[in-house]
Amino acid sequence: MTGMSGQGSSQRRDARVPSVEATQPAPAGGRRRRLLGMGAIGAAFLAGAAIGPIIAVPTIQAFAQDSGRAETYRLLNLFGDVFERIRAEYVEQVNDRDVIESAINGMLQGLDPHSSYMNPRSFRDMQVQTRGEFGGLGIEVTQENGYVKVISPIDETPAARAGVKPGDLITHINGQSTQGLTLQEAVEQMRGERGTQIRLTIRREGERAPVELTLTRDVIRPQVARFRLEGGDIAYVRLTAFNEQTEAALRRAITTMRQQAGGNLKGLILDLRNNPGGLLDQAVQVADDFLDQGEIVSTRARRAEDAQRWNARAGDIAQGLPMVVLINGGSASASEIVAGALQDHRRAVVMGVKSFGKGSVQTVMPIPGNGAIRLTTARYYTPSGRSIQATGIEPDIEVLATRPDPNAPHRDREADLRRALRNDNGERTTEQQPPATPPPPLNLPAGVQDRVVKMPAEGAPAFDPTKPETDHQLQQAVQFLRNLASAQGGPQRRAQR
């Protein structure tokens, strides 16, 4: 699950690390098996080929296989003919590698929204982003009115040292306007090797003239886990992606906040909003951090023998503290694995709005000297057997970030993407694939859930990511945990279960 995210509509992007989907690398020795499996045409004609008992099945099978191979060779010849025609007749001279790579990418993207080809540069970028460090400036950005807007600079990075501020609009990069660039294109221009320079032109509120800044890129280690205490009694941690640093950063965050609170913690909020996913093993480890036992997630591939299952080990780093997991339409893939596991085990209350709905696993298969392919190889299922593919995680308690606006643009989810995989919940009836069951109902003290306010008050200030007090979903999660602690008799009651 790498690459960006099948969430094509998400406008928030991290200049430190682009969004990633839940990905698993091809296992040693498994790459060849998977690649060879792509060529298995099989005897698809067998199902209706036998017209009477006088025809022997082995003969039919051999004929079908031969016919399948012949058709495959004919289509490969067609590809070669088209390629040669392009080389000879296209209005401008073409680069053979570019044409072939585009054809390969088209073949993969024709399967589903998340399979694709990565050329050597894209493959290196993917490896960098999953390691969690790269050369860049150290700013988290979004897009507003066609310009790149700074959400926040990271402490002790080139951006912070140069005086970049939240709310700055980056209008030019090295003298070239950012108008017309996608957010990803702008992010790629701001990244680069350590020690190289870049010039930013910034429009800043309160400044009459543009601000010109020259920055020197450095190694950026993203703050994949941002955390703070809310009011001294609620631990809040936001995970921005699932890379190789995520689980360790989460553990450090909770340890730090527990020390800061001095035993007064009433609850924990795990914020997975707009987290587009990342590495499968990191999702498993994060969920495992809060579960003592039971299944975390399972994956089922084309062949039954390739199914896998991950179970939790004893140990809860939150020591039983009540939890809320915040999700929204930008929570995808690895984020949904974590939310689904904690919801099914009733370890946490899931709050927010329905998640993105990406329930597939991509395996990255390197092609020596030629980048890699990212191929959808499995679906994943929550502990209760649910596939969230194209449906998403439904929150236990719905809380809207803003009041409904009929004129607001529709935010695409997995089900809106072309060629999205179907949801197969209704098809799994074998003993190995039991039917899906909904998570058990919430068991909350009377009145706690009723006090949650579904949407902001009319006239409430617009959400500003730099001002937590404008974050309605977060504030409702904080108050919910305080009300729950009060109803249960204090912060230590559940921790001592």
Dihedral of the alpha carbons of 328, 249, 224, 398, in degrees to the nearest 10: 10
CB-based contact 226:246 (threshold 8 Å): no
pLDDT score, position 462: 86
491: three-class secondary structure by DSSP: coil
Side by side, which strands form the sheet with 234-239?
225-230, 234-239, 267-271, 323-327, 349-352, 397-398
pLDDT score, position 63: 52
DSSP character string of 97-160: HHHHHHHHHHHHHTT-TT-EEE-HHHHHHHHHHHHT-EEE--EEEEEETTEEEEEEEPTTSHHH
| Residue 292 is a catalytic residue | no
The model's pTM is: 0.76
Token pair 């017209």 in the structure block, residue: 51
284: three-class secondary structure by DSSP: helix
Token pair 């108008």 in the structure block, residue: 179
pLDDT score, position 41: 23
- Nearest Cα residue to 229 out of 480, 494, 478: 478
**For 125, left (φ over 0), alpha (ψ -120 to 50), or beta?**
alpha
**In order of start, what are the domains of the chain with their CATH numbers?**
134-220 (2.30.42.10), 225-496 (3.90.226.10)
pLDDT score, position 417: 87
Q: Which of 358, 384, 387, 396 is catalytic?
A: 358
Q: Which of 14, 125, 344, 396 is catalytic?
A: 344
CB-based contact 261:233 (threshold 8 Å): yes
* Nearest-5° Cα angle at 258, 255 to 264: 170
CA distances from 242 to 2, 245, 310, 359 (A): 10, 8, 17, 16
For residue 62, give both structure tokens: 């051999």
302-337: b (≥16 Cβ within 10 Å) or e: eeeeeeeebebeeebbbbebbbbbbbbbbbbbbbbb
Q: Which of 5, 333, 355, 360 is catalytic?
A: 333
pLDDT score, position 54: 36
Count the helix, strand and coil residues of the chain and give each as a percent rounded to the nearest 5.
30, 20, 45
For residue 332, give both structure tokens: 């995808």
| Residue 9 is a catalytic residue | no
CB-based contact 393:355 (threshold 8 Å): yes
Q: pLDDT tens per residue, the chain (497 residues)? A: 433 333 433 334 344 333 334 555 544 443 322 222 222 222 222 222 232 333 334 444 555 566 678 899 999 999 999 999 999 999 999 999 999 999 999 999 999 999 999 988 888 878 877 887 778 898 878 777 778 888 778 777 899 899 998 889 999 999 999 988 878 788 889 988 889 999 999 999 888 899 999 999 998 877 899 999 999 999 999 998 999 999 999 999 999 999 999 989 999 999 999 898 999 999 999 999 999 999 999 999 999 999 999 999 999 999 999 999 999 999 999 999 999 999 999 999 999 999 999 999 999 999 988 899 999 999 999 999 999 999 999 999 999 999 998 887 777 889 988 899 999 886 654 445 567 788 889 999 999 999 999 999 999 998 887 788 999 999 999 999 999 999 988 554 444 43
| Residue 358 is a catalytic residue | yes
* pLDDT tens, residue by residue, 401-434: 999 988 877 778 899 888 999 998 866 544 455 6
C-beta neighbour count of 372 within 10 angstroms? 25
